[in-house]
Amino acid sequence: MISETEMSVHVTWRIVIFCALLVFLFAEDSSAREITPRRWKEVPDGDTNGLLHNQETPDLQKLSKNNHLLVKHNTEDDHQKHAHAHLSSHMDHTDPSDKIFFTIKDLKVGKTIPFYFSRRDPSTSPHLISREEADSIPFSLAKLPYLLDFFSLSKESPQAKAMEYTLTLCEDEPMEGETKLCATSLESMLDFARATFGLDTQVKALTTNHLRKSVSPLQNYTLLEEPKEIFVPKMIGCHTVPYPYVVYFCHSQEGENRLFEISLGGENGDRVQATGVCHMDTSKWDPDSPSFRVLKIKPGTGPVCHIFPADNIVWVPLIS
C-alpha cells in the first residue's frame, strides 16, 4: 500500500520532470510522432552517405564520435563481443566531426578550441514516442527479422545494419561499474533516472543549447566565461542511437566525472551554451577510442573531456 505522502512525492517528481522536458522532447505536430520517419525509407539500399549524413536518418557517423563513452574496458579477460568496441571503423578518421574532445587544461576564459556541432535542430527532429507505443513494438535483436518486416526495410539496407547495431549495443552486458538502459520512451528514461539516483530524488536535465543558429558545423569557439562546474555525485548521459524511432542509450559510470556548463562564442558569430564532461580516469578504456587519437594521449595518462551534442541529454540529481 502506497501512502499519501509517497504518492504525493512520486506525482510531484513526475510533474516537475515532465514540465521541464515537455518542450524539448515532444513535437507540436503529429508528424514528429510518426513511428517510422519518412526519410528512413527514402535512403537507397546502397546509399551509405545518405544514412550517415541525412539529418532525419540514423547517424552512425555522429554516434561514432561518442565512442569514448561507449567503449569496452581494456581487460584481458573481457572476451565478450561489444558492438561499440570499434565504432571508429565506421568513420573517416579525418572527419571534422571528431572535434568534440578537449582537455581539462583547456577550460579557461579566452581559450579557443575547434568544435563540431551538428546542424540538426532537436526541436524539429523526431521525438520520443509514448511508453504505450514503445511497448507495443518488440525491441530485441532476436526479433530483428520481424522488425525489418514491420518497418518495411530490406535486410541488406543501411537502416537494417543501423538497427542491428543499436539492438546489439543495447543488449550487450554493461561494462564494469556501468549501469545502462536503452530508453524507448520518456517514461522509461525517467524510471532509469529514479533507479540510479533514488526513487525520491528530483532530477534535472542538462542539454547543449545553440543561442544563435549555427552557420558552420565546424568552427573555432572561444570560451567567453569561466566554465561553471556542476557538483553532483552521479550523472547519466543519454545519447541518441540510430533506430526508426527515437532511442536513447543512457548510462551512468562509476568513477570521478566532472561536469561543466561552458559558454562558447564561434568565429562566425555563433553562441553556444554547451554541456561538457571530463572523465578523470580512463585507465580501463579501450585504447582504440578516438578520444585518445584526437587528444594524442593514451588510456590512463590524463582526463578525457568532451562536449555533448545538442540532441543528447545529461541527467543529474537536484541537490538542495
Treating both helix axes as pointing N-terminal to C-terminal, what angle do 4-25 and 186-197 enclose, rounded to 10 degrees? 130
| Residue of 305, 205, 317, 309 whose CA lies nearest to 256 | 305
- Between the alpha carbon of residue 8 and those of residues 17, 200, 231, the distances in Å are 14, 10, 28
Q: Identify the residue with better confidence: 125 or 72.
A: 125
Residue range 41-53, pLDDT digits in tens:
554 443 333 333 3
* Set of cell numbers at residue 210: 545553440
Residue 4 has pLDDT above 50, yes or no: no
* Set of cell numbers at residue 144: 530483428
Residue range 219-264, pLDDT digits in tens:
999 999 999 999 999 999 999 999 999 999 999 988 899 999 999 9
Residue 300 has pLDDT above 80, yes or no: yes
CA of residue 259 relative to chain centroid, distance: 15
Q: Which of 39-43, 64-68, 166-170, 198-202 has the lowest mean pLDDT?
A: 64-68
Residue range 116-157, pLDDT digits in tens:
987 666 666 667 899 999 999 999 999 999 999 999 999 999
Residue 200: other Cβ atoms inside 10 A? 11
> What is the percent of the chain where pLDDT is above 90?
52
Q: Which of 117-121, 198-202, 292-296 has the lowest mean pLDDT?
A: 117-121
**pLDDT computed for residue 28 by the predictor:** 33
Cβ contact 117:207 at 8 Å = no
Q: How far apart are CA 250 and CA 189, in angstroms?
A: 8
Residue 268 has pLDDT above 80, yes or no: yes
Q: How far apart are CA 51 and CA 59, in angstroms?
A: 6
Q: Which of 28-32, 216-220, 222-226 has the lowest mean pLDDT?
A: 28-32
